[in-house]
Homo-oligomer: A and B are copies of this chain.
Amino acid sequence: MYHFDSDYMEGAHPAILERMAAENFHKHDGYGCDGICDSARRRIREACGAPEAEIHLLSGGTQANATMIKALLRPFEGAVAADTGHINLHEAGSIEATGHKVLTLPHTDGKLSAEAVASYVDAFRTDGNRDHMVWPGMVYISQPTEYGTLYSLAELEALSRVCRDRALPLYMDGARLGYALAAPACDMTLRDVARLCDIFYIGGTKCGALLGEAVVIPRAGMIPHLFTTVKQQGALLAKGWVLGLQFDTLFTDGLYLDIARQALAAATRLAEGLAAAGYRFAFKPVTNQIFLRLDPGQLEKLSAHATFSPWERLDNGCEIVRMATSWATSMEEIEAFLEDLARR
């Protein structure tokens, strides 16, 4: 049996565990105010080409999203997102729990288009009833999206322009950012992300760390007293250096993108093999997540060889499922699975 359920089944890149053992008995200041965290922040700033950036190291994606959106918005504002957005569907109402509405727009392949945002916001701002409605206060996107698809640089530039023209912060959920930036189909860099977004986070949990997401605010001080809001949300680790060490390691010598490339190569081979075996994709696979549209026979067969995640039941009896590779997936594993699948 092979396991492609998700990209967070294994632990951390070995370099992280080695360093953790080395640092274990050194004494570090608490709450991220230590030298390792400082070093991690320096390396991330450099990788982002954002020397002034403010960086907060948090534990998980839902936590990062809720904390930052709460900190960004005023009471009368909500977050604009694709209806498929993770904050809208799969974070248990964490945004609403902070008092804010998720304002949804229809997605295209999991993405929000600049045009759709512009037209929604402009219509809102001239709507006679606008004062009785939740004001769009920011725009939330994910790169890659919840369907494993990618914004192109041109699309991100257009979104950024639309947002800045309307004074709306653009927020990118980068839970799998490594798997976007290292993808052959991706034409943007981390520097582009830092240049075009007002806040984003670099996912660690799914990209080589045990846990951890690095929130980057290129324009430091944009949100006052964010440390306190992070604490209030229960998002401040006492041993912050545990997060710092992971990002410091991942951002040394390009490790973050290197290990993402391995996941993408495995995903590419997996997709090729599945296509060759007659499987159809719900979305063209370009990152480490592959969404298959399976008929009942295919579902049964595939289930006999591997575990994966159910995604959506379709009316015609078919089902969309997700298979994911990670930095820890070996090419051997993929080949062995494909052979098995072919054999039986």
Chain A residues in the interface with B (C-beta under 8 A): 3, 5-6, 8-12, 14, 17, 20-21, 23-30, 59-67, 70-71, 74-76, 78, 89-102, 123, 128-129, 131-135, 205-206, 210-211, 224-225, 227-229, 231-239, 242, 310, 313, 328
Contact = CB atoms under 8 A, between A and B. Distances in A.
Nearest to A7: B238
A92 B231 contact: yes
Given A60-B236, A96-B99, 10 more contacts: A3-B27, A11-B20, A11-B23, A74-B225, A92-B131, A97-B233, A128-B310, A206-B238, A211-B242, A233-B234
Given A17-B21, A30-B9, A228-B76, A132 B92 contact: yes
Kindly name the residue among A12, A102, A134 whose own CB sees the greatest number of chain B CB atoms within 10 A. A134
B229 A75 contact: yes
Contacts of A26: 10
A59 B237 CA distance: 8
Given A97-B75, A227-B131, A242-B211, A91 B11 contact: no
The 6 closest A-B pairs by CB, nearest first: A63-B234, A11-B24, A92-B232, A76-B228, A93-B134, A92-B231
Contacts of A242: 11, 210-211
Given A27-B10, A134-B93, A239-B11, A70 B75 contact: yes
Contact of A225 (B64, B135, B206): B135
Contacts of A6: 30, 238
29 contacts: A3-B27, A8-B30, A8-B238, A9-B29, A10-B28, A11-B24, A12-B24, A20-B210, A21-B21, A60-B234, A60-B236, A60-B238, A61-B238, A62-B234, A63-B235, A64-B234, A90-B132, A93-B134, A94-B233, A94-B234, A97-B99, A98-B99, A123-B313, A131-B225, A131-B231, A134-B228, A211-B238, A211-B242, A233-B234
